[in-house]
Structure 1
Amino acid sequence: MTELSLQIRTEQPIDSEAIERLHERAFGPGRFARTASRLREGVPHLLDLSFTAMVGTLLVGSVRLTPVMAGDEPALVLGPLTVEPAFESRGIGAALMRRSLEAAKAKGHTLVLLVGDEPYYSRFGFKRIPPQHLQLPGPVNPGRFLALELEEGALARAKGLVSTIFDMSQ
Structure 2
Amino acid sequence: MTELSLSIRSEQQGDSDAIDRLHERAFGPGRFARTASRLREGAPHLYELSFTALVGTLLVGSVRLTPVQAGDEPALMLGPLTVEPAFEGRGIGAALIRRSLQAATQNGHGLVLLVGDEPYYSRFGFVHIPPGHLVLPGPVNPMRFLAHELVEGALARAHGLVSALPR
Length-normalised TM-score, structure 2: 0.98
The Cα of 1:43 is off from its aligned counterpart by: 1.2
> Counterpart in 2 of 1:136?
136
Amino acid at match of 2:135: Q
> Counterpart in 1 of 2:54?
54
Please list every run of 5 or more consecutive structure 2 residues that lacks an aligned counterpart in the other structure: none
The Cα of 1:166 is off from its aligned counterpart by: 1.1
> Counterpart in 1 of 2:21?
21
Alignment partner of 1:7 is 2:7: yes
- Aligned pairs for 1:122-161 (under 5 A) are 122-161=122-161
* Whole-angstrom CA distance in 2 between matches of 1:4 and 1:73: 42
- SS in structure 2 at match of 1:19: helix
Length-normalised TM-score, structure 1: 0.96
* Whole-angstrom CA distance in 2 between matches of 1:147 and 1:43: 19
> Counterpart in 2 of 1:70?
70
> Counterpart in 1 of 2:120?
120
The Cα of 1:3 is off from its aligned counterpart by: 4.9
* Whole-angstrom CA distance in 1 between matches of 2:106 and 2:68: 18
> Counterpart in 1 of 2:100?
100
- SS in structure 1 at match of 2:8: strand
Aligned-pair Cα RMSD in Å: 1.2
The Cα of 1:2 is off from its aligned counterpart by: 6.7
Amino acid at match of 2:123: R
* Whole-angstrom CA distance in 2 between matches of 1:156 and 1:110: 11
The Cα of 1:42 is off from its aligned counterpart by: 3.6
Would you identify which runs of 4 or more consecutive aligned residues in structure 1 move more than 2 Å?
1-4
Amino acid at match of 2:113: L
- SS in structure 2 at match of 1:166: coil
Please list every run of 5 or more consecutive structure 1 residues that lacks an aligned counterpart in the other structure: none
